[in-house]
Chain A
Amino acid sequence: MTTGIKKIILTAILLIAGILTITPFIWMVSASFMYDGHASVYPPRFFPDVFTLVQYEKLFSHLNILRNFFNSLFLSCVITIISLFLNSMAGYAFAKFRFSKKDKIFKFLLSSMIIPAQVTMLPLFLLLKQLHLLNTYFAIIIPGLANIFGIFLTRQYIYSIPDSLIEAARIEGASEFLIYRKIILPLSAPILTTLAIFTFLGVWNDFLWPLISLTDSSMYTLPVALANLMGEHTKDPELMMAGSVVTVIPVIIVFLALQKYYIKGIMMSGIKG
């Protein structure tokens, strides 16, 4: 077989795989621009026969999805920012400070990553009930304040920052927090960006915990609102597709804008993990 033929075959396979991968998205977007019932036809339509925004109108005027959109956006941003600070601080401590049982604590944290989060949900629910925080933003923010994966990722990166930089700053009399802010944070910007995307997408896409802890529809995040909507609108695929588009578009934008960092982060977690 010549390389030319091989090349064509390989590209063809990838092209087919790519089309298969992207088809659900295309169908989602095009069905969201259809009138009620226009997606429920045989043979299926790939493009709207009559283009309409009526589904989006319904979503935004009727079903108040803007509120859910902002809930998701707000919670994702807040948790991302807070957890970035907490994780990088702890990562810094694990990377550059010496204290007793440091390695043991770190290893313990790492190995506890296999505990499924579902184990904590019941007690967390009861704890937040006791604190009267269920059905508030805090119910989502508090459990997301810090996470072991974030500590691990930042520690690995900060570890490679030369000690001499920190020592020099100390000699010049910089306070420890100043060092953290002026040296560590800027130097670890790439990994922080990566972690920020991870966290943002994680919170945006999270479903089980918001489903349990938020009861008021005005508090729902997008995925919960969407699942709620689906309970009664299985017969309106066009509307549901529009809801899916609204939910998915922001994450795709974030991903496409920052994909370099994101993919690099995944590669790093894979190789060093």
Chain B
Amino acid sequence: MNAKNLKYYAFMFLAPALISIFVFFFLPVIASFLISFTDFDIYSLNHPERIRFTGFQNYSKLLNDPLFWKALGNTFLYVIVASPLSILISLIAAISLNSKLVKFKSVFRLTFFMPVVTTLVAVAIVWRFIYHPRFGILNYALGLAGIEPLDWLGDPHYALPAIIIMTVWKNFGYNMIIFIAGLQNIPDYLYEAAILDGANKFQQLRNITIPMLAPTTLFISIITMIGFFQIFAEPYVMTQGGPLNSTLSIVLYMYREGFRWWNMGYSAAIAFVLFFIIFVFTLIQFKIKRVT
């Protein structure tokens, strides 16, 4: 079969997927970018002639919108607090599970992984009740330890930490699995050599495990971070962004502006700012890791 013919087949194999991705992903991305420069709103939903081109107005409005900054600040809190926490816990879990001393590894692995596969809306409902100020088991457990009950989801100070705790519970198993894969790829002779040199467990961890896991950690931190930047269903189901917008995230704000108030131009601008931030953060992560 000649090369030209193969090209034809390559095209045939690619076309369905790529056309679908182009029409239902790239085209909307472009359209969204264009919409972000207009005042597309509820008045224009059925009257395209009422859309006006507004230049960078949506973006400049965004910069002066305290609620946007609030949402951005909260989102950064989710990212900065929850990502390292989640990575740390999954790393500890992975290292423990990788130890030769532990039995029933697969049972533990499955247990830790279970929350990952479950439906977020469903577990959010369960956690809402765990956080119930009077009947929740968390306050009950805290009560046994002598701690006063907290109104987890009703108090602006605790609502965001409460959501972070739930999210970490839900997600650490995923990263744990990837870490385990990374650990299994570290050749044994490195440790054997270290033991010969008299390195203790902690030194082994610092000088072998952590550096060898660097690529895995980079991958994990990027996907975890991107995930937290896009956090939506957790605050939507648990708190609706409240109390006092203390759990409002960027995507939730985007959803609210776009699909509650139908300010679609504004909402598209929010989406693009989010994209830009994720882009920059991913670049920074790569740069940092390259330097170190």
> Which A residues have a C-beta under 8 Å from some C-beta of B?
3, 6-7, 10-11, 13-14, 17-18, 21-25, 27-28, 31, 39-44, 85-87, 89-90, 92-94, 97-99, 109, 112, 114-124, 126-127, 142-143, 145-148, 151, 170, 176, 180, 201, 204-205, 207-208, 212, 222-224, 226-227, 230, 234, 237, 240-241, 243-245, 247-248, 251-252, 254-256, 259, 262-263, 266-271, 273
Query: Looking at the complex, which one of B177, B255, B267, B282 makes contact with A208 (CB distance below 8 Å)?
Result: B255
Q: Within 8 Å CB of B97, what residues of A?
A: 14
Q: Within 8 Å CB of B279, what residues of A?
A: 114
Residue of A nearest to B173 (CB): A21
Q: Within 8 Å CB of B274, what residues of A?
A: 116, 118-119
Is the beta-carbon distance between B123 and A244 smaller than 8 angstroms?
yes
Interface size for B (C-beta < 8 A) is 92
A234-B3 Cα distance, complex, nearest whole Å: 64
How far in angstroms is the closest Cβ of chain A from B219?
Answer: 5
Closest 5 CB pairs of A and B: A270-B178, A267-B181, A97-B10, A120-B28, A123-B31
Query: Looking at the complex, which one of B108, B120, B178, B237 makes contact with A230 (CB distance below 8 Å)?
Result: B237
A6-B31 Cα distance, complex, nearest whole Å: 59
A244-B124 Cα distance, complex, nearest whole Å: 9
Q: Within 8 Å CB of A267, what residues of B?
A: 177-178, 180-181
Query: Looking at the complex, which one of B109, B251, B282 makes contact with A118 (CB distance below 8 Å)?
Result: B251
Is the beta-carbon distance between B137 and A266 smaller than 8 angstroms?
no
Stretch in B16-24, B55-63, B76-84 touching the partner:
B16-24
Which of B129, B132, B258 has the most A CB atoms < 10 Å from its CB? Answer: B129
A94-B93 Cα distance, complex, nearest whole Å: 37
How far in angstroms is the closest Cβ of chain B from A203?
Answer: 11
Stretch in B64-72, B155-163, B191-199, B227-235 touching the partner:
B227-235
Contact residues of A: prevailing secondary structure: helix
Is the beta-carbon distance between B278 and A18 smaller than 8 angstroms?
no
Q: Within 8 Å CB of A126, what residues of B?
A: 31, 264
Q: Within 8 Å CB of B219, what residues of A?
A: 270, 273
Is the beta-carbon distance between A116 and B134 smaller than 8 angstroms?
no
Is the beta-carbon distance between A227 and B237 smaller than 8 angstroms?
yes
A119 and B119 contact, Cβ closer than 8 Å, known pairs A86-B16, A114-B226, A271-B185: no
Is the beta-carbon distance between B129 and A223 smaller than 8 angstroms?
no
Which of B9, B102, B169, B220 has the most A CB atoms < 10 Å from its CB? Answer: B9
Query: Looking at the complex, which one of B13, B110, B216 makes contact with A259 (CB distance below 8 Å)?
Result: B110
Other A-B pairs beyond A241-B125, A270-B182, 15, CB < 8 Å:
A11-B102, A24-B126, A99-B10, A112-B25, A116-B278, A119-B272, A207-B121, A222-B119, A226-B122, A226-B125, A243-B122, A244-B119, A267-B180, A270-B219, A271-B185
Interface residues of B in 87-117 (CB under 8 A from A): 93, 96-97, 99, 101-103, 108-115, 117
A121-B268 Cα distance, complex, nearest whole Å: 9
Is the beta-carbon distance between A115 and B178 smaller than 8 angstroms?
no
